[in-house]
Structure formats: C-alpha cells, structure tokens
A = this chain, B = another copy of it.
Amino acid sequence: MKQYITLDPWKIIEDSFNPEHHQITESLMSIGNGRMGQRANNPETYNGDTLKGNYIAGVYYPDKTRVGWWKNGYPEYFAKVLNSLDWVKKEVRIDDQLIDLSTSAITSYKRWLDMQEGILYRDIALQLESGKSVNIHTERFYSIADQDRCFIKYSIKAVDHEINVTITDHLDFNVRNSDSNYDEDFWEDRSQGFQNQYGYISAKTKKTDFLVAASFDSQLIIDDKAIESTKDLSTGEVSHRFNFSLQPNQTAEHVKSVAICSSFYYDKSEVLDKAINQVKDPIHDYSSHKQKHILAWAKRWQSCDIKIAGDVSAQQGIRFNIFQLYQTYSGEDSRLNIGPKGFTGEKYGGSTYWDTEAYCLPFYMSTGSQEIAKNLLIYRHNHLAKAIDNATLLGFEKGAALYPMVTINGEECHNEWEITFEEIHRNGAIAFAIYNYIRYTGDQDYLISHGLDVLIGIARFWAQRVHRSPSTGLYVMMGVTGPNEYENNVDNNWYTNYIARWCLQYTRECIDKIRKNTSDKWTLLKANNSIEETELDRWADIISQLYLPKDEETGLFIQHDGYLDKEDLTVEDLREKDRPINQNWSWDRILRSPFIKQADVLQGLYFFEDHFTKEQIKTNFDYYEPKTVHESSLSPCVHSILASSLGLKDKAYEMYLRTARLDLDNYNNDTEDGCHITSMAGTWMSIVEGFAGMRVRDGRLSFAPVIVDSWDSYSFKINFRGKLLELSVDKARCSINNHSDQPIETAIFDKVLVVEAQEQVSFALQG
C-alpha cells in the first residue's frame, strides 16, 4: 500500500485527498474521549467508500448469534458495540451544488489529527461547478475535560465570488450497525424535538434498554452576526437549516455544540435533561471548551508521552499508539474496558479479550495511575458470578470460573468452539494480571478485598480441567487452544499448562500467607468460598505432578504434544505468495504446519522470565522465533521484548517496527475496519520493557536500557507507586530523573541506587 500518511512527530496528516484509502483514514483519524468516540467520517454528504461509526462506551446490544453449524454450549447472543447517533452530519449546498467530496473538484486538501491537542482538523478548497472557489475549514473534538461534550466548528469562506449557501445541520439517529447478523435495527423508540433552540433526539436499545439522548446548539456567525435558522424534525432526526450569502473573502463560522448522555451514566429519567442542560452553555464558550480540552491533553501527555529523537516515523508511531489507547479508555470506570477496535470500528463487537490483562494493564499502570489499573481488575471481579455460570454451563462445578473469551457484560459472546471453549488460557492472563498489579503497586489489600475471589474461581477451574493420565500417571490438560491460535484442540499446551500450574501455586501461596498472618480473614475467606482442605490438597498434587512437555536433551519447552512431529521448517521456507498464510492457506494446512501465529512458549517465558535462565530463554527463542509468522497483532511486541533482553538488538528493532506502525502503515491490510487498539499497548511495552528493560523486582523498578541504532535518544515517564520518574536514554548514557518529592530506590543494570527527590542520576550505557 502507498504510504500516504505524512510523517510528523505529533500529527497524523493526509496531505492530499485519497478516496481509495478513505476508510483507512477514517479509522486512523478516529477521535474519542473514553466515554464516546467516532470514526473520521466527513461531516458533509459523502457518497464514496465510508464506514459510518459513532460509538458510546458501555452501550451494547446482544445480537442474535449467526453460525453455520450450532454446537451445544454456544452463546445465543454476541454483545455488540453500537453504531450510535451521527452528530457531525450536515448537508451543505452552495449555489445549489451539493457538497460531496467524492464528486466535488478539490483544489487543495489537508486533513490532520493533532494528537497533542486531540483535535481533528481539515482544510479544503473546492472549485464549484459554477467556477467559483470556496475554502472550508473544520475542527472537531470530544472533550476529555467534559466527557459528555463534543464540538465541531465548520467555516466556509467565499474566495472570489459571492456565494449562496444552505447548511442543514443534523443530529441523526437513523443509524444501523453494518455488522448486524440479521440486518436488525438495534435501536427503537426514536424521539426528537426542540427545547427553545436546543434540538434533541433520543432512542433506546432493544432488549438492553439503554437510553441515549443528544442535544445540540447550532450557531452560524457572519461578521459577528448570528444567522437565524429554520428548525426541522423528522423521525430520529432533528436539524437547523441556515440560508445565507457570502461576499468574496467573507467567512461564515458555524459551531455545533453537542452533548450526548446515556443511561449508562445517568438515571433514565434525567438523561435527556442532562444533555439539554449541558448544551445550554453559551455558544461563545466553544473556544474555552477547546482550550480546556487541549490543556487536559497536555496534562495527560505530561505523564504518558514517549519522546524519540532522530526517527520521526518511530516517534509518530508510538504517539499514535498512546493517543489511541487513551482515547479508548481513560480508566475512570470499572464497568468499561478496552475493545480491540476502541471507537474506531464495529469489528469484534467492541468486546474485551485477554488482551486487556496481558497487554493493556502494564501500560495504564505505568502511564496512568494505580486506580486505572485497579479498575481494569475490578471489571473482572464484577463478572466473577457470570464466569462461574459460564463454567457451570460447560460442566464444571463448585465455583469454578471460566472467564469469557469475548465479552461486554461478562457473558461469553464468541461462537467458534476451538476458541470459545478451548482458548482457556485467558483465565491464566486474568490471574496473572492480579499478580502483576500487586507486584507493581504493592497493593496487598487488593488481594483480600477482590483478588482472591477471582484467583480461587480460576484455580478451581484448572483443578477440574486437568485429569491424571492413566498411561503416565501425570496430570494432563487435553483439548485446548493456546495463544497460538494456529493450533486447535491440542493436548498439553505448554503455556496453558504452565500458567495453570502457576495459578494454582500462586493462589495457594496467597492463601497460605493469609492463613498464617491473618487467621480471622482466612476463616472468613474459607467460609465465603466454601474451601475444603481436600481441594487444597488436590491443588498441591496437581502442582507437583502436572505434565509439561519438554525435550530434555535440548531444553526446549514443547509447544504441545506432537509439535515435534511437525515438519521442521522456518518462516524462510515460506514462499512470498504463501504469506500471510491466513489469507492464502486453508485452515487445516495452517493447523498441521509448524508455523506459529504468536508463540505460546515465548509468551510464557515473557510472563515468567524470572523462573528461567537466560540460556533457557535463548534456546526457546532461537527455536520458536523463526517459526513465528506474527499474524497476530499481539505477537511482535513479546518477541521484541525478549530479543532486547537477550541482547538481540536488530531482532528487537525489527519486531518493534512491526508493532509500532501496524495501523499507520496498514501492515495487516485491515485498518479500514478500525485500528488494533489493544496491541498498541504492546508497542509501548516494546520500548519500556524492551529497549529500556524496565522490570519490577523486589518492589522497585529496574532498567537495563539499550538504544536503537537509528535513534538519537528516547525518554519516557513512569508513575510507580505514586512517584513520577523519567528515564532518558541517548547514544552514550541513560539517566533517571525523579520528578517526585520523595526519594526513589531503583536499579540500573542490576545496580540498586536511590535517586533523591527532584534529582537526576546518569550512567553510561553498557555494551
């Protein structure tokens, strides 16, 4: 694909109109504020390729499942993020010509997403059919300062001749999901009206009964004079129509100020009033809203930015990733989570996968706050009862919990047996996140207040999911799919077995500690969870006798039983035309091939690095990396981090490049559906845990930085246990700045040191 996005450290820029990539640009320039967001649809009529998308966090619909062949146990519904009201829509006619970028003569074009400000801009010049010229400037944003608010400013300037203009400015709730399984309209009870000049519309979702209401004010100013509008209503739509003329060089400035409220945040009875009342702010407030919003982004960037000097492409890539993550989820609400496409598309239903725990948590924990990370954990705690129901449905007993592979409300949505029923390692990542959170934050209280409930449910699942092999006497786990989804229904997946054993062990350790130190708490916990001693004994038995496939001779951990019978090929044996194999090979061929989508064993070595020697890690990395095709967006970052830790700088950078600009360069040829939000956290990890080698050990952060050859320097800030520190690395040295008012104990290249409050220490780079 043509690299049509211009490089810039802070902006995503489209310098000329690219209708052939329009849906990709719509994804890339998506904006949002954690509570809602939208794709970068043109505000005017647009008859070219477009995927309309406006989304509101937490508002979903259980779409009836569509499968070819039903399997017992499949969920009946797939909860989907909803395409919601279109608030930017307007119809613009100039001298009776309908403005539509797919047909209009564009003489100048620039669209850019300013990530520093969080604002999407567009400047275009058109030549009308009449030969006259007009310039149009737009800017829009979802305020991160006032999260129900969004704004679009639209300025038209007559360049050379007088023009007559009609702008019809809409809120439009006549929208559908393009991925509806049965072409169903998910919304009903659309209503609309005006309260004084404030137009409003509302609709509710079928079944889930979410109410969404929006209100807007629409003001058009020419030379400081407001133009009167005509007000129109039709089902699900409310609009202002402005008719006016502009003289050469005269500009009309149209500001639409919108509030969108949902019953996810407000009581149903007040949703509409909340929307209208917020819009009743005076319209001249646009610039103050804009300022507040820009300031809020500036503050956010203060702590989460990564600066890279000497490589604009890498700089743009990492900022794009960070920006999209914070647009998607800003962490205030434990009922929300991070969908794989965020607010950039419908695909995958906007649901939560194991990506959150395995990839996103470390990012939010370090760049945001402990509270954000905790909210992500509490999300799963809230869903524990449903995870137990889910396991019960699948034949498990006594409080065993299986978290869904894909969910919005805690119920399983997915319907491919090899994933839904067998990709059970997700339970492991959810347990690991609890451990990881406590390791990072030191928040031991969380274990007793929430963590152990989840750990016990998960441990029980593993304990029932394994059985003792009659032929070997060891515990085995049959019929699973690991993170490497290019293997289905395998026995003894090393990663799954390993994380299962670790879960049982960690849960037992936590229980033992509580039992020993706070016996009253233990008594309560034991009673609440109906824990029996025989159960704990069985866990111990499994821990000591769970089979982990290993080649004793080479020290290789074997991906799963039978993997060594596969042809011994590497990715280099693939022909160009075979790649990506998931677009060129039938599924059986992928399954029986040795090629790996993302490497299970390496994921395990990444999580449990301290359990293994460097040599063990290297043996397995050297074996599995060459077999990995990285056709999961979640794959390259783990390889990058491991490569960094093994001193394989070139490999680490190669893998970094695959993750950092995945969407900007449309590597997977699917960015038109939306951006790969969750894997963006992996990009951050590749720098922070990879190049900078950040780890938490013994309650302190440690670093072991290297620098990519093509970079001059890089730096980032980390919030660790309430203290902000900054790591800066250049060609020769690295330094740690302690921006907090307390000393921080840290380690660089295994040397423990204390950095005093507001002080900096500096070291020469190694190697």
Residue on B with the closest CB to A578? B395
Cα distance A568–B479 when bound, in Å? 16
Report if A751 contacts B (CB, 8 A): no
Which residues from chain B contact A286 at a C-beta distance below 8 Å?
A: none
**In the bound complex, CA of A562 to CA of B480 (Å):** 13
Nearest Cβ distance between residue A482 and chain B, in whole angstroms?
A: 13
Which of A66-74, A248-256, A534-542, A659-667 has 4 or more CB atoms under 8 Å from chain B? A66-74
Asked if A752 CB lies within 8 Å of chain B CBs, one says no
Which chain B residues lie closer than 8 Å to A489 at the CB level?
488-490, 591
Cβ contact within 8 Å between A479 and B592: yes
- Give chain B residues whose Cβ lies under 8 Å from the Cβ of A393: 586
Q: Of A116-124, A466-474, A644-652, which stretch is located at the interface?
A: A466-474
Q: Which of A568-595 contact B (CB under 8 A)?
A: 568, 582-589, 591-592
Nearest CB in chain B: distance from A590 CB, A: 8
CB contacts (< 8 Å) of A469 on chain B: these are 564-566
The answer to whether B71 touches A68 (Cβ under 8 A) is no
Of the residues B67, B478, B586, contact of A565 by C-beta under 8 Å: B478
> In the complex, A491→B478 CA distance in Å?
13
Contact (A591, B66) CB under 8 Å given A394-B586, A395-B585: no
Given contacts A469-B565, A470-B567, contact A422 B588 (CB under 8 A): yes
A417 to B555, CA, bound (A): 34
Q: How far is the CA of A68 from the CA of B586 in the complex (A)?
A: 17
> Least Cβ distance of A474 to chain B in Å?
9
Whether A68 contacts B416 by the Cβ 8 Å rule is yes
A477-517: which have CB < 8 Å to B?
A: 478-479, 488-491
Say yes or no: B72 contacts A585, CB within 8 Å.
yes
List chain B residues, Cβ under 8 A from A715. none
With both chains docked as a complex, state the minimum distance between the C-beta of A414 and any C-beta of chain B, in angstroms: 9
A476 at the interface (CB under 8 A from B): yes
Per the bound structure, the CA–CA distance linking A141 and B479 in Å amounts to 51
Given A68-B67, A478-B592, is A491 in contact with B565 using a C-beta cutoff of 8 Å? yes
Q: Assess whether A565 is in contact with B476, with CB atoms less than 8 Å apart.
A: yes
A469 to B592, CA, bound (A): 12
Q: Which residue of B lies closest to A474 (CB)?
A: B565
Whether A470 contacts B585 by the Cβ 8 Å rule is no
Which listed residue (B68, B422, B583, B591) contacts A68, Cβ 8 A? Answer: B68
A263 within 8 A of B: no
**Residues of B close to A561: CB separation below 8 A:** 561-562
A415 interfacial contact with B, CB 8 Å: yes
Contacts of A421 in B (CB 8 A): 586-589
Nearest CB in chain B: distance from A382 CB, A: 24
**Chain B residues near A564 (CB-CB < 8 A):** 469-471
Collect the chain B residues with CB atoms within 8 Å of residue A69's CB: 415-416
In the complex, which residues of chain B have a beta carbon less than 8 angstroms from the beta carbon of A73? 585-588
CB atoms of A71 and B586 under 8 A apart: yes
Q: Across the two chains, which residue of chain B brings its CB closest to A65?
A: B68
Residues of B near A589 (CB, < 8 A) are 394-395, 421
Cα distance A316–B364 in the bound complex, in angstroms? 72
B565 to A72, Cβ gap below 8 A? Answer: no
Copies held by the complex? 2
A contacts with B, residue count (CB < 8 A): 45
> What separation, in Å, do the CA atoms of A415 and B488 have in the docked complex?
17
In the complex, what residue of chain B is closest to A581 when comparing beta carbons? Answer: B72
Cβ-closest chain B residue relative to A396: B589
- Smallest CB separation, A751 vs chain B (Å): 44
Give A297 Cβ to nearest chain B Cβ, in Å: 38
Q: Are A562 and B68 in contact (CB under 8 A)?
A: no
- The distance in angstroms between the C-alpha atoms of A472 and B66, with both chains bound, is 43
CA distance A65 to B69 in the complex (A): 11
Q: Which of B67, B584, B591 contacts A479 (CB 8 A)?
A: B591
Q: How many whole Å from A356's CB to the nearest CB in chain B?
A: 21
Task: State how many angstroms separate the Cβ of A60 from the closest Cβ of chain B.
Answer: 18
In the complex, A663→B224 CA distance in Å?
Answer: 84
Most buried by B among A490, A568, A584, A592: A592
Which of B491, B565, B584, B585 contacts A471 (CB under 8 A)?
B565
Q: How far, in whole Å, are A541 and B66 apart by their CA atoms in the complex?
A: 46
Task: Tell me, in angstroms, the Cα distance from A584 to B72 when the chains sit together.
Answer: 7
Give residues of chain A (708-763) contacting chain B, Cβ–Cβ below 8 Å.
none
- CB-based contact A472/B565 at 8 Å: yes
When C-beta atoms are compared, the residue in chain B nearest to A592 turns out to be: B479
For the complex formed, measure the closest distance between the CB of A668 and the CB atoms of chain B, giving whole angstroms: 15
A478 touches B566 (CB 8 A): yes
Do B562 and A478 touch (CB < 8 A)? yes
A72 vs B566: C-alpha distance when bound (angstroms): 21
* Residue from B71, B567, B587 in contact with A72 in the complex, judged by beta carbons closer than 8 Å: B587
- A491–B567 Cα distance when bound, in Å, is 13
CA distance A476 to B568 in the complex (A): 13
How many whole Å from A386's CB to the nearest CB in chain B? 16
Q: How far apart are the CA atoms of A415 and B568 in the complex, in Å? A: 30
- Bound form: Cα–Cα A22–B518 in Å: 67
> Quick check: B562 and A562 within 8 Å, CB to CB?
yes
A65 to B489, CA, bound (A): 25
Query: Are B471 and A417 closer than 8 Å at their CB atoms?
Result: no
A394: nearest chain-B partner, CB-CB? B586
A261 CB, min distance to chain B CBs, angstroms: 34
Nearest to A488 among chain B residues (CB) is B489
Shortest C-beta distance, A704 to chain B (Å), equals 36
Q: CA–CA, A417 to B481, complex, Å? A: 15
Docked-complex contact B72 and A588, CB < 8 angstroms: no
Give chain B nearest CB distance to A660 CB in angstroms.
28
Closest CB of chain B to A403's CB: distance in Å?
15
| Cα distance, A65 to B66, chains bound together (Å) | 12
- A590's closest neighbor in chain B, by CB? B72
Restricting to A350-402, which residues have a CB under 8 Å from any CB of B?
Answer: 393-395
Residues of B within 8 A of A587 (CB): 71-73, 417, 421
A545 to chain B, nearest CB (A): 14
Residue of B nearest to A582 (CB): B72
> When chains A and B are docked, how far (Å) is the Cα of A141 from the Cα of B73?
43
If A415-B68, A583-B72 touch, whether A470 touches B568 (CB-CB below 8 Å) is yes
Contact with B along A457-475 (1 / 0, CB 8 A): 0000000000101111000
Binding site for B on A (CB under 8 A): 65-69, 71-73, 393-395, 415-417, 421-422, 467, 469-472, 476, 478-479, 488-491, 561-562, 564-568, 582-589, 591-592
| 26 pairs, A vs B, C-beta closer than 8 Å | A69-B416, A71-B587, A72-B584, A72-B587, A73-B585, A73-B586, A393-B586, A394-B586, A394-B588, A394-B589, A395-B589, A417-B586, A417-B588, A421-B588, A467-B567, A469-B564, A469-B565, A469-B566, A470-B564, A470-B566, A470-B568, A478-B562, A478-B565, A478-B591, A488-B488, A491-B565
